Amino acid sequence: MDKVASRKDVSWPFWPIVPIYPYGQRKTIRREIVKDAVWTFEQIQGIFYVVVPIRMSVIKLEQGGLLVYAPVAPTIECLRLVQELVEEHGEIKYIILPTISGIEHKVFVGPFAQKFPTAEVFVAPQQWSFPLNLPLSWLGLPGKRTQVLPQDSNQTPFADQLEIAILDTIDLRLGQFSEVALFDKRSRTLLVTDSLVSIPQSPPAIVELDSYPLLFHARENALEPIVDSPENRLKGWQRICLFAMYFQPTVLAVPQWSQVFRNAFSAPDKSSKAYFGLYPFQWQNDWQNCFHALCRDGRLLVAPILQSLIMNRDRKGTLNWIDHLATWDFQQIIPCHFDAPIIANSRQLRQSFAFLESAWNFGNHDCLPAEDFKTIQQIDYYLSRLKIIPRSQVGN
């Protein structure tokens, strides 16, 4: 395949709707998770080169055909990989939008559904849009084929094989948060959207297809050139994870802006791709200890932002949802971001939500270090004080 054809195959022309990296070029990797039963399709997304995987899952239905959970960008390459499954296992019968707040998931559902005109589209209840709440059809979803998921799994057309559990809508004042978990009894696989992650030690294959973000963040300052090596890819990935989870971990300092601009003036690469030489980061020597505390051999984890700003706003509702998920006999979890599959059971699921069980207990081995939450807690303090978001129900 020549270079021009390759760029066409990964082209995503609607990127201005959500203008985040990699903009108009989105490569896709398909992986078979359970033989002839479960597949994932991975792309990347990010801001300021803080790139992470975004994942769609496809499940084979016992009665024939396929179900799609959380579509990704339907590029020519992606659709070709989907079509190979369709030819072997049957048509796309159902498409699930499992979130009400994740625009990075919502934006792909309409275009994806248009490519499969016989598929039924199911969406999480209480969908909303900003700045105006618009009808689903105005958001690109096919009006005649779209319906809201019922609370009762038995009322879905795929109930014999798949169960759903919908997190009660959490009112954040600025918006709302909810998520639909899906359990495939046949493969004992639990699908979630944003609620759970596992941070891999090394960069995932989909991230390594475009190494520039990794190498960009591997530098100590703007004066260092971009050098591709396994060591720099690993360093860049681990720093990206800290950005994505904490915004500004305690091991990261912002140097004086006067120094940032002086370094930018002398940077070896002052192109727009390199943000004109701007690199306002200064990592402390022990930053890797912070990463290892976060990663801890790929443990199951609720992202710090969800712990501190979202799920603790409805402690009871979230714990009820977790209780429901824990009744399912799953052996692996596939989230929409970072690593997958995660080998885990209901006990480990409950442990990951220990932050909701009582007041913050950072001495607990399952909790992240308190100092790494400093930036997020400052955001929480000011947003709560100004009554922009409700107060936490944990530790008050």
**Domain locations along the chain:** 3-198+305-352, 205-297
Residue 332 confidence (pLDDT) above 50: yes
Distance between CA atoms of residues 102 and 273, nearest Å: 27
Average pLDDT score over the chain: 91
pLDDT by residue (tens digit) across 196-236?
Answer: 999 999 999 999 999 999 999 999 999 999 999 999 999 99
Residue 255 confidence (pLDDT) above 50: yes
Cβ-proximal residues to 57 (8 Å cutoff; 6+ apart), any chain: 33, 38, 39, 40, 41, 68, 69, 70, 191, 334
pLDDT by residue (tens digit) across 116-169?
Answer: 999 999 999 988 776 666 667 677 788 889 999 999 999 999 999 999 999 999
pLDDT at position 103: 84
- Which pLDDT band, with edges at 50, 70 and 90, does 97 fall under? very high
pLDDT at position 303: 92
pLDDT at position 338: 96
Residue 5 confidence (pLDDT) above 70: no
Of 3.30.1490.20, 3.40.50.300, 3.60.15.10, 3.90.1150.10, the CATH number of 3-198+305-352 is: 3.60.15.10
Run of H or E including 104:
helix 103-114
**Which of 245, 213, 239, 280 lies closest to 49, judged by CA?**
213
Residue 186 confidence (pLDDT) above 90: yes
pLDDT at position 135: 67
Residue 63 confidence (pLDDT) above 60: yes
Distance between CA atoms of residues 350 and 344, nearest Å: 11
